[in-house]
Every structure is written in C-alpha cells, then in structure tokens.
Amino acid sequence: MPKINRKISVAPMMDCTDRHERFFLRLISKNVLLYTEMIVSEAISRGDKNKLLSFNLNEKPVALQIGGSSPKLLADASRDGEEFGYDEINLNLGCPSKKVEKNKFGACLMKEPNLVADCLSKMQSVCKLPITIKTRIGYDDIEDYENLYKFIETLKNTGIKTFIIHARKAILGKFTPKQNLNIPPLKYEMVYKLKQDFVKEEIIINGGINNTQQIKEHLKKVDGVMIGRSIYHSPYLLADIEKEIFNNKNILSREEVIEKLIPYVKEETKKGTRLNQIMRHTLGLFHGQVGSSFWKRYLSQNMCVRDAEIKKIDHLMDKIKPPSQVHLAGQID
C-alpha cells in the first residue's frame, strides 16, 4: 500500500468538505490530502452507505473521518470505508459541540483514553488502511502537557502512528463549535513538544494557519500541516501551496478551474444534485481579486439558491474574462 503524503491536508469540516467541495479542491491541488466531513459510525451502520460513502475517484487521495464510541460500529465503518476505496480512516476526537458530546464522540472522548484505545484496536483489526486520529491539546480545565502526552501514548500503544492535533483545547458544553475555533488560545508549542517526544510518530498540526509562510514555519517543527477554514473561504490558497510547498508549477487558473468544473456540474445535476449544492463551494474562488464581490453576488443570486436553474451554468464562462486577464468581465469592485 503506497504511503500517504500528509505534508499538507485540508481539514474535515461539517457542511463544507462534502464530495462536491473535494472534487472542486482537487482541480486546484493535486497533492494535498482531502478529508470527508465527519460521518457518524451509527449513521453508516443504519443508513444508505452509497449515499454516505460514495465519492468520485478524481478526489483521491481522500480520507474518511468517522465519529463514534462503539468499538464494533467504528470497526464496521472502517471496513466499509476500505471497501468504498478511501485511503485512510480518521477517528474524530476533537469535535466540541454539545450534540457530539451528548452522543459520546468527538473531544469528550479525551476523558476516556482506554475506551478510545479499544475502539482503535478494533478498527485496526478489521481494516488494512492507515487509522489516524484528530484531537485537541486538552479539554475544559485539562490543558497540561502531561495529560496530552499520556493520551497520545495510550493511543500510540494500539499501533496508531499518525496524530493530527488542533492546537487549542475544547471547551465542552459552554462554547459553540464556532467559539471553540476562536476563543481558546492556540498553543503550538505543545504540538511541537509532542513531535520531540514522539520522534517516530507522524505529528500533524492544525489550527489558525492561513498562509504558506506559516506553513513553512510549522514544517520546521512537525511532519505536516492541516488547514481548515482558510481553504474554504479562499480555496485558491491551494495554488500557492502547490507552487511553494510541492514545487508544482502546473496549476490551473481560477478561470480554468471553473471551466473544468462545469462538466462535473452538468453530470451531477442529471443525477439529481441541485446546482446550489455544488456552486456554493466556489464562492471564495476569486477571494482577494478585483471582481470578487461581483463573483460572490452573481453566484448568490443565480446559482446558490435552492431552485437555481442548471441552464445558467452554460453562461458562467461569459462572466469571466480569459485567463490572461485578472478580473471578472466588466466588473470593478
């Protein structure tokens, strides 16, 4: 099984990193590892597996993130993920929402390292894919390095080799998920210390990373960098990452990305996908460019509404000037 390159990855984000977003991002970047939204193991067990797990092979490499605390259901979901062709299975140990805590998965599982270890052992026993975890540096009032070290060591002893660490603690039951992404302070040094103490393990850092300069600084201390919201709001940041981190000069322009996306949109809408379900992910494509406000406004009014007509996609390229010209046709912010 070929080794997965986790140098740069795009974080699993609820209501963001669905299969349409991943197809879109893959048009920009050939090298980053993409993750699904978290899918609950119980949903996979009881629901429509094809609907939940199917994806376009052009998205690869792609990892399936699952949530849960039942060793059996997580093992079953891991096996299902392998059968559907994913490249990695990731267990969510970092989501801090009240709903997640109520159902006993996500960051609250940091309180139960032995249960997590049992889950991971069961997952690895039935699945040949790499099993990884994504967690935080602590929770509530527990934020000392000793506890984080013991937690990671317990999981490592099950055979886990890759640890993705969001460098904030989770405040359980008090903060919303959005607040948990901003209010707890970032403590990158704790993640750096993990790499010093777990030299043979792969340590990936996550949280508050917005540009290639920050990425380069982190890569001096850890094995990989995971980026979340910055990519969703400004997806063409991936082009800078391709050029500066992977030394890939063969990058599609923003206009070429849309041109390549249109056939996918047409094919998907024939299957019943609504236009807005795909095009909403492209709102930030021209972020920072002259004409970006027009692009967002045009999409919002014409393609990101529930009853958007597919025929409008045929005129989308008319709204964009040729790749040699930077801004959108006839629009100045």
- Residues with catalytic roles: 95
Residue 129: name the closest of 172, 184, 90, 94 by CA.
90
Check if the beta carbon of residue 59 is closer than 8 Å to that of residue 316.
no
Give the helix/strand (H/E) hosting 1. none
Cβ neighbours of residue 141 closer than 8 Å, sequence gap 6 or more: none
Check if the beta carbon of residue 275 is closer than 8 Å to that of residue 314.
no
Check if the beta carbon of residue 315 is closer than 8 Å to that of residue 305.
no
Cβ neighbours of residue 1 closer than 8 Å, sequence gap 6 or more: 128, 129
Backbone torsions φ then ψ of 106, nearest 5 degrees: 90, -150
Hey, what are 231's tokens?
A: 């990519």
How many beta carbons lie within 10 A of that of residue 276, not counting itself?
A: 17
